[in-house]
Amino acid sequence: MGLRENAAAAAGRTLATEEQDDLRLPEEFVDQFPAPDPMADYEPGDDDPEMVPVSVAWLRVRREIRAIAKGELYNALGTKFNFRGVDTVVNVFGPVTLKHGINVLSSKVEASYGEKTTAKGSKMRECSVLVTWTVIGPMGDTLTLQTMGEALDTADKATTKAQSVALRTLLLAFGLTPTHDTDPDTDRIERGNEAPARSAESYRDEILDKKTSQGRLQQIGYELGNLRMLGRKVTNEVGEQETLDALGQRIYKERSGGAQ
């Protein structure tokens, strides 16, 4: 009788109720099917967080986040580079924000769109977004923050990608998260008398334009070198960050059949 009582209790039923259940587990098999693990449904953040102001809760989140390096590899379309994906950043922050009672919500999204053409002639939709975020603490008080995101896509994912980039920027920048990136001060740039006549994005668009000849690509490389813009990062045709130098060399190789 002890085994039957334990099995009935695990199922949330009384012994009397079980007697009326034609689908009850036969007594001889009860010991083969123990009661479920009481921690099976446990998730990080189940415990109520301490009631502190949002600024304190966010500080506690930052204390628990360690460096998030570029541990993922992109290797497609003749391009190879390391990157730090949105999912990786969210997976790190998610459990810790739950623990400290932090909610991060997008309260406003302002988007603008354009159209770009890849080196192979494919049309891509470009989306830039300015996202206003509301960070809510365990006591209900809030922080209002803003980040921007930019992405390119050949289908209908440009807006989603751009918002994901904005979220990654929010967590890394406002979390002051160590990234193990090269210090920006290692790049020495001499300021000229006048600002460059062209933007990094305009050079990107010309490099990606299928009508741009190999000779012009080489000339662009010289121009960027003189302007000290070779290391300037732009959003490439697959929505990732790439330097103008790397982008120009990659496109040149593609159009020359891989020859140097």
Kindly state whether residue 37 falls inside one of the protein's structural domains: no
In a domain? residue 67: yes
Q: What is the mean pLDDT of residues 232-243?
A: 91
Q: Please tell me the pTM assigned to this model.
A: 0.53
| Assigned domain for 152 exists | yes
Model pLDDT, residue 197: 63
Mark whether 134 and 217 lie in a shared domain: no
Which of 124-138, 211-225, 232-246 shows the lowest per-residue confidence on average (mean pLDDT)? 211-225
Question: What is the reported pLDDT for 26?
Answer: 59
- Could you tell me what percent of the chain has a pLDDT over 90? 35
Same domain, 111 and 147: yes
Residue where a domain terminates, one of 121, 147, 174: 174
Burial readout 29-56 (b: 16 or more C-beta within 10 A, e: otherwise): ebeeeeeeeeeeeeeebeeebeebebee
| Ordered alpha helix ranges (H), the chain | 2-10, 15-19, 54-64, 86-99, 158-174, 200-208, 214-226, 244-255
Sign of torsion, CA 159 164 169 170? Answer: positive
Question: Quick one: 114 and 163 in the same domain?
Answer: yes
Final residue belonging to a domain, choices 115, 144, 174: 174
Q: Flag whether 235 is in a domain.
A: yes
Find the length of the chain: 260
CB 88 within 8 A of CB 179: no
pLDDT at 122: 76
Say if residue 138 is in the same domain as residue 28.
no
Residues 198 and 169 in one domain: no
- Co-location of 149 and 79 in the same domain: yes
Q: Which residues pair with 111 in a beta bridge?
A: 129
- Under 8 Å between Cβ of 190 and 228: yes
> In what helix (H) or strand (E) does residue 72 lie, and over which residues does it extend?
strand 72-76
* Predicted local distance difference test score (pLDDT) of residue 32: 53
Q: Is residue 8 part of a domain?
A: yes
Among residues 174, 201, 231, the one where a domain terminates is: 174
Q: Is 213 domain-assigned?
A: yes
Same domain, 73 and 12: no
Residue 89 and residue 143 in one domain:
yes
* Residue 44 resides in a domain: no
Report helix angle 200-208 to 214-226, nearest 10.
160
Joined tokens for residue 16: 């009397």
Give the domain range for residue 156: 54-174
Q: List C-alpha distances in Å: 6 to 14, 16, 33.
A: 10, 13, 11
- pLDDT-derived band at 43 (thresholds 50, 70, 90) equals low
- Asked if 120 and 232 sit in the same domain, the reply is no
Rounded CA gap, 142 and 117, in Å?
42
137 shares a domain with 226 = no
Q: Domain with 102 in it: what CATH number?
A: 3.30.390
Structure confidence at residue 176 (pLDDT): 82
The answer to whether residue 112 is domain-embedded is yes
19 has pLDDT over 50: no
Cα dihedral 143, 86, 230, 206, rounded to 10, equals: -100
pLDDT digits (tens, 9 = 90+) for 159-215: 999 999 999 999 998 888 877 655 544 454 444 444 446 889 999 999 999 888 888
Residues 128 and 162 grouped into a single domain:
yes
Which position has the higher pLDDT, 257 or 64? 64
Total domain count for the chain? 3
Residues 68 and 144 placed together within one structural domain of the fold: yes
Q: Which of 9-18, 25-34, 111-120, 204-213 has maximum average pLDDT? A: 204-213
